[in-house]
């Protein structure tokens, strides 16, 4: 690892440095580029070892594209993502394989990610098959170990995904993610498809596993209550940008950005209780409003909000907001 890519803080596991992901929009017979969808537009943050970092925002804000960049499903357009100090866009083949083992996903809909023709043991063992130093017996033992960690039984190994409930299928996905002893798990809406009655149980089990194994989570959710329950720190995204970030407790007690305030109001109060209901839809990342992208929906908008884009600035230690209300 070269010194120029090593992070300064040893406690940092993943670092985003001014990361952008633009998708070109092509038109005509020659597929000429007529513009870009700026799905992720210059975000910087870090995820520390053993913490849960929550990314929250409405659909289309860029949070799922962010997870695809970390999972190497999409290449970044510019900026850098460092993992353990190493730039993930310049990995050799062997480093890429090691990285994939260190960073595992758990997606919203476990049904789509579990092959219905395979037994659970095969599904969980799949990420381990590339390991040349593991025997069949060792792989099977690891399958049983992670099944138990995820709250399932050893006899579940020989069943098929359709023989489980939604909550159990999400546990299978979790067991598969744990199989390679990852340092980071991307939890993309991990409980939103589950029955309300089992959501709290699943959240607490994820937190127990984290305390036991010291893994980091990048938690993506549109539900602020879930984010606050599980996360150490939070970033709020709007049209590809981070508009507010800080410790979850600080964000809850001293919410600064009007958009975050609206998300909190929607999550914790009904309209009858005076919750702020935002007018309009989330702006398009293809042609976002000028200045502050949030200005057409913001109850505090001022003339300069249409003209000047607010930068993300520290408003108290560790708490940043991108809004002209703060000097
Ligand atoms: Fe609202 Fe202006 Fe702040 Fe944007 S910069 S959130 S429009 S007050």
Q: By CB neighbour count within 10 A (0-12 exposed, 13-18 middle, 19+ buried), where does 73 fall?
A: exposed
CA of 253 to the centre of ligand 1 (A): 20
What is the domain extent for residue 44?
A: 3-321
Q: If you compute the radius of gyration of the chain from its CA atoms, what whole number of angstroms results?
A: 21
Nearest of 176, 179, 173 to residue 109 by alpha carbon: 173
pLDDT at residue number 173: 94
> Is 259 contained in some domain?
yes
This prediction's pTM: 0.90
Give the ligand 1 atom nearest the CA of 292: 4
Is 327 inside a domain boundary? no
Residue 5 confidence (pLDDT): 47
Give residue 159's Cα distance to chain centre: 30
Residue 129 lies in a domain: yes
Which pLDDT value is given to residue 306?
96
Whose CA is closest to atom 3 on ligand 1? 323
* Predicted pLDDT at 280: 74
Measured in Å, residue 301 CA sits from the centre of ligand 1 at: 5
Q: Is residue 154 part of a domain?
A: yes
Asked, for residue 182, whether it belongs to a domain, the answer is yes
Domain annotation covers residue 247: yes
Q: Is 326 part of a structural domain of the chain?
A: no
298: domain CATH number is 3.40.50.300
- Write down the pLDDT at residue 278: 72
Ligand 1 lined by 45 (C-beta under 6 Å): no
Per-block mean pLDDT, blocks of 10 residues, the chain (327 long): 52 97 90 91 96 92 94 96 95 93 90 89 91 88 96 95 92 95 94 83 92 96 88 96 96 95 80 58 85 95 97 96 95
Question: What does the alpha-carbon distance between residue 286 and residue 4 come to, in Å, rounded to a whole number?
Answer: 34
Taking CA atoms only, the protein residue closest to ligand 1 atom 6 is 323
The pLDDT, as a whole number, for residue 58 is: 87
- Number of domains observed in the structure of the chain: 1
Length of the chain: 327
Give the containing element (helix H, strand E) for 244: strand 241-247
| Residue 316, in any domain of the structure | yes
């Amino acid at each position: 690892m070269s010194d120029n890519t090593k992070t300064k803080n040893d406690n940092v596991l993943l670092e985003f440095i001014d990361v952008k992901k633009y998708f070109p929009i092509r038109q005509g017979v020659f597929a000429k580029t007529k513009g870009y969808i700026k799905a992720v537009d210059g975000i910087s943050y870090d995820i520390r070892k053993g913490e849960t970092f929550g990314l929250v925002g409405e659909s289309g804000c860029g949070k799922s594209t962010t997870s695809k960049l970390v999972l190497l499903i999409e290449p970044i357009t510019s900026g850098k993502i460092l993992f353990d100090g190493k730039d993930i866009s310049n990995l050799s083949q062997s480093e890429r394989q090691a990285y994939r083992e260190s960073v595992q996903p758990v997606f919203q809909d476990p049904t789509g990610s579990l092959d219905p023709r395979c037994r659970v043991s095969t599904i969980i063992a799949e990420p381990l098959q590339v390991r040349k130093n593991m025997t069949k017996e060792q792989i099977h033992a690891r399958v049983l170990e992670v099944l138990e960690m995820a709250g399932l039984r050893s006899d579940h190994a020989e069943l098929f995904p359709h023989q489980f409930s939604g909550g159990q299928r999400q546990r299978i996905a979790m067991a598969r993610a744990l199989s390679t002893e990852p340092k980071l798990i991307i939890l993309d809406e991990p409980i939103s498809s589950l029955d309300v009655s089992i959501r709290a149980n699943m959240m607490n089990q994820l937190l127990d596993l984290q305390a036991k194994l010291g893994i980091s989570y990048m938690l993506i959710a549109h539900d602020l209550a879930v984010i606050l329950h599980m996360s150490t720190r939070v970033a709020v995204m709007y049209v590809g940008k981070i508009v507010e970030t800080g410790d979850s407790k600080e964000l809850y007690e001293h919410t600064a950005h009007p958009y975050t305030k609206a998300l909190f109001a929607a999550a914790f109060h009904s309209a009858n209780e005076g919750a702020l209901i935002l007018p309009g839809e989330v702006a398009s990342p293809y042609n976002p409003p000028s200045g502050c992208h949030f200005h057409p929906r913001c109850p505090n908008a001022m003339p300069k909000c249409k003209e000047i884009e607010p930068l993300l600035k520290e408003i108290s230690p560790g708490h940043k907001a991108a809004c002209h209300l703060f000097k």
